[in-house]
Amino acid sequence: MTETNYTEVRDEFGVAHERFAGADPGLYNEDLAPSTPEARTWQWSSIAALWVGMVVCVPTYMLSAGLVSEGMAWWQAVLTVLAGNVIVLIPMMLIGHAGAKHGIPFPVLLRSSFGTRGAKLPALMRGLVACGWFGINTWVGGMAIYVILNTLTGDVFKGDPLPFLGIDIAQTLCFLAFWALHVWFIRHGTESIRWLENLAAPFLLLMGLALLGWAYIQAGGFGEMLSTPSAFVEGGDKEGQFWSVFWPGLTAMVGFWATMALNIPDFTRFARSQKDQVVGQMIGLPLPMALFAFIGVAVTSATVVIFGEPIWDPVALAGKMGGVGIIVALAALMVATLTTNLAANVVAPAYGFSNLAPNKISFKMGGYITAGIGIAMFPWKLLETAGSYLFTWLVGYSALLGPIAGILIVDYFLIRKTAPKVSDMFRAHGRYTYTNGWNWVAIFAFAVGVLPNLPGFLDAAGLIEGVGPFWKTLYGYAWFVGLFIAGLLYGGLMWGKRHAEAAQMETEAAPTA
């Protein structure tokens, strides 16, 4: 983009772009620019509805149900989900403050702490995690199509797994068909599916309640349904092991929305006020999560009575139920998964990839990149067991995102006092240039925040053996460990750096004898 072209864009879009007439083309495009006052129309109800739309999805159902399969009683699993979401709500509101106040998306906010170039690294990490979630949700929707086809045809489409992929040809084609549907909507913009999202999210909740009713009837009442005891009680299969499952489980619950805790400015930048973003998130996140988690865990508890085993995957459960009703339910699930996926797992990586080269990658192109990586991550392998889903995937990426959240919060509230110079975030030679665009203090703090969790992750992923119990226990707190270590280290080093620079300036300004 030349200076002349930039002037034309400024004239076309008005005052908001005029404020950044000195922006560097490599740091600026229309998608990354601060939202105008006219664009900030979201009330608290809009933000709450956004959260309800994202919460009502299959992965939320699978969270508490996965904890039940690990040995928890239903009430322990639901309280673990609720506690995790209350905890993650705190950084969600803190980081969301920057979006509501300054109208900037997550990748731009990162420039204040990581530097104009260094910000690309954490933005890319966040984007890749979203690509993984994109793949997981796309796989769930594809499996819904697969179950529908086999229900209608009497399992005609079931076949032998393909080499390397580990899934049969029909599963592969259903996954690709659902993926192609995402690409179509990405091409036409996420605004084109907003009406569908608003319709599908409450409809999926109704389907969840219908599923709960089915389980109630089949299991003979709620008392029978929720009578499955914890495996950690005396005489249970995992007697005395509750805390060893609870802490990694709690970290996994935090990790579920640790992604959104970072890029929440992508949405709060359109909020009318701080009150709207705070109230909307408080209403829209913790309680709806607990409610839908209860549906998942209650139904999973019922499957122990009905089928003799806990079935935590709703698509697998649907396959056992059969009947015409399940076709309707899976079709609704497929639509809701599509809309939730587009809202929750395309926006962040699209902004992140656009931030890599704003003058070459648009928001739409970033969405295409997201879709491509979502296939390459083989999401069905992440969901092979509840253990790998919770403790390898969720806890694993929370070890990366916790340090970023710690650095962002400390930089925005303690270093910048909530008043960073936004115009310099779009300039190659401003206060956030640091060393050739990199703030090595943030990079160092991030690395140190991740390092303690690395042995535990490698052990959980099965890449190494013989890791000591200390590292395994520490890994259960991955998000918390990373957030506090990186945040404290960054704050201390930046304070020391600024203090030293101020002292040097005073020395240089002092009169010589």
Q: Which domains does the chain have, with CATH numbers?
A: 31-388 (1.10.4160.10)
Higher pLDDT, 205 or 289: 289
- Of 70-74, 104-108, 240-244, 256-260, which has the strongest mean pLDDT? 104-108
Residues 6+ apart with CB under 8 A from 50: 267, 280, 284, 343
Residues 6+ apart with CB under 8 A from 263: 105, 106, 126, 347, 348, 351, 352
Distance CA(251)–CA(246), nearest Å, equals 9
197 falls in which pLDDT band (50, 70, 90)?
low
Tokens of 30: 């229309």
Closest CA to 134 of 363, 398, 360, 369: 369
What pLDDT sits at residue 13?
34
Distance CA(122)–CA(513), nearest Å, equals 49
Q: Which helix (H) or strand (E) holds 160?
A: none
Tokens of 120: 């690309």
- The average pLDDT across 479-483 equals 90
pLDDT tops 80 at residue 437 = yes
pLDDT tops 60 at residue 35 = yes
Closest CA to 131 of 186, 56, 49: 186
- In the chain, % helix, strand, coil (3-state, to 5) comes to 75, 0, 25
pLDDT tops 50 at residue 19 = no
438 falls in which pLDDT band (50, 70, 90)?
very high
Look up tokens 């910048």; give the residue. Answer: 416
User: For 329-366, what is each residue's pLDDT tens digit?
Assistant: 777 778 778 877 887 788 888 888 988 888 888 888 99
Q: Check if the beta carbon of residue 475 is closer than 8 Å to that of residue 450.
A: no
Q: Which helix (H) or strand (E) holds 420?
A: none
Q: Which residues pair with 42 in a beta bridge?
A: 271
User: For 308-337, what is each residue's pLDDT tens digit?
Assistant: 887 777 777 777 776 776 777 777 778 778
What pLDDT sits at residue 417?
93
Distance CA(117)–CA(329), nearest Å, equals 47
389 falls in which pLDDT band (50, 70, 90)?
low
